[in-house]
Copies of this chain bind each other. A is one copy, B any other.
Amino acid sequence: MGSRIGVGLLGLGTVGGGVASILLSPDERHPLVADLDLVRVAVRDLARPRPVDLAADILTTDPGDVVNDPAVDVVVEVIGGIEPARSLILQAISSGKSVVTANKAVIARHGQEIAEAAAAAGVYVLIEAAVGGGIPIIEPLKQSLGGNRINRVSGIINGTTNYILTRMADEGAAYDAVLRDAQDLGYAEADPAADVDGLDAADKIAILSTLAFGGAVERSAVPTEGISQLQGVDVDYARRLGYGVKLLAVAERMAETGDPLPLSLRVQPTLVPTDHPLAGVNGVNNAILVEGDPIGRVMFYGPGAGAGPTASAVVADILNIAGIRHASDAPGHIDPLLAAGTWRNCALVEASKIRQRHYVRFNTKDAPGVIGRIGGCFGDRNVSIQSIVQFNASQAGAEIVVITHEVSQGEMDAALQAIEALPEVSGLAAHLGCL
């Protein structure tokens, strides 16, 4: 029933600084914050100026000093990346310490190994900060929705791309120009690949899927498409048809059940109807929609990144460990809801079986009957169409935009192949998802 909790920090960058700043100013926060002692902090360079005032003797350049310090009860890992983060987390666990991490890359790839080590050691590895920045989403999924059969988790879970898409939509601006601007403003990294190619969102949806469905899937197999190929013209056409374009991450169970449970995961630029709750999520905000039975549909919305929000999530996890320590000091006895171990096998379905609506744009000759022939190709392959619209007809040709009803990827691919073989069609110019 020890009431004080020793916290060790691995990393004192933006998020680490935010965490330290909360721990050092407990006033007006939950009284349990005052029970958290920041006892050891690993930094890369002792001489660098700090955002917070820390006693020199708690700083070290050796992360091993933090994970092995007997005064440290909870290790907070905010250095990011795969290694040495993974090894340090495992080392902390084997020293009997709980871990709080904001590291989606390591959890998406090595979450199972880490969870098993934690279960064996009887400690917690908590990850609220790994998805959705400050938005409480991990904890609600683990502790508030357990009575439900979850059917789908979907959302906007990358702030950088949502900032870019929001500006493309608002200003009619081109992707490249907005990206440069976002880099200047610090919203995008100098190497933006992890964000704009959808890799960060894929890490996060793999994590949410594991929690929602109780089993992990192979992260590297998640179909992932970013926004770097997205053209302004499709954002414009989508708007005219009543949709916004968002980089959407989706994890859903298929209609049939089974062991392993078949799941469809994907990250893809997706048309969202303007009256859908996710359509109004703009700028660097994130939102996650959870659909289940009997709850229906709930959404969690807020700042998806930033020092303050992410630090709020890290401190929430530390507080949960501190709180449960009051209820039990019996080592090895853990709350299975908070620990969130997996409890069934899940597997990704083949890409051809993924079902959704599609948006496609074709460049065509402006020839009579082309809409009919395209429509016919879809119909022949069982692809039912919601709308087919011609834009921008000129001597050079026309653009034809089709929005389908829900179909399998396999049926869609077959139809597209037939359409691209039509003499009037010069090419498939865009292919996006559609809610």
CB within 8 Å of B: which residues of A? 1, 18, 21-22, 27-33, 128, 134-136, 139-140, 143-149, 214, 257, 275, 277, 280, 292-303, 306-309, 311-316, 319-320, 322-324, 326-328, 330, 333-338, 343
Contacts and interface: CB of A to CB of B under 8 A. Distances in A.
Given A298-B136, A308-B294, A28 B146 contact: no
Given A300-B298, A313-B144, A328 B333 contact: yes
Nearest to A25: B149
Contact of A327 (B134, B148, B316, B333): B333
Nearest to A319: B146
Contact of A33 (B135, B147, B307): B147
A144 B136 contact: yes
Number of copies: 2
- A280, A314, A343 — most chain B CB neighbours (10 Å): A280
- A33, A292, A299 — most chain B CB neighbours (10 Å): A299
Nearest to A27: B149
Nearest to A122: B327
- A32, A257, A294, A296 — most chain B CB neighbours (10 Å): A294
A169 to B, nearest CB: 14
A303 to B, nearest CB: 5
Contacts of A300: 298-301
- A307, A311, A326 — most chain B CB neighbours (10 Å): A326
A303 B296 contact: yes
Given A296-B302, A311-B294, A335 B343 contact: no
A242 to B, nearest CB: 15
Given A298-B136, A303-B297, A327-B328, A29 B128 contact: no
B299 A301 contact: yes
A156 to B, nearest CB: 13
For the complex of A and B, the 8 pairs showing the least CB-CB separation, nearest first, are A294-B308, A147-B315, A328-B328, A298-B302, A30-B146, A323-B337, A136-B144, A136-B140
A316 B143 contact: yes
B136 A30 contact: no
Contacts of A327: 324, 327-328, 330, 333-335, 338
Contacts of A292: 312
25 contacts: A1-B333, A18-B294, A22-B147, A29-B148, A29-B149, A30-B343, A31-B343, A32-B337, A33-B146, A134-B296, A136-B145, A140-B144, A143-B143, A143-B320, A147-B314, A294-B307, A296-B309, A297-B303, A298-B300, A298-B302, A299-B301, A301-B301, A323-B337, A326-B336, A330-B330
Contacts of A280: 275, 277, 280
A32 B146 contact: yes
B333 A326 contact: yes
Nearest to A328: B328
A104 B368 CA distance: 65
A296 B308 contact: yes
A344 to B, nearest CB: 8
Given A294-B311, A301-B298, A303-B296, A28 B149 contact: yes
Contact of A323 (B135, B319, B336): B336
A306 B296 CA distance: 10
B294 A22 contact: yes
A275 B335 CA distance: 41
Contacts of A28: 149, 257
Given A140-B140, A143-B139, A308-B293, A324 B335 contact: yes
Contacts of A333: 1, 326-328
Contacts of A312: 145, 147-148, 292, 294-295
A341 to B, nearest CB: 9
Contacts of A322: 337
A343 B300 CA distance: 27
Contacts of A146: 29-30, 32-33, 315-316, 319
B309 A303 contact: no
Given A146-B319, A149-B29, A312-B147, A277 B295 contact: no
Nearest to A135: B298
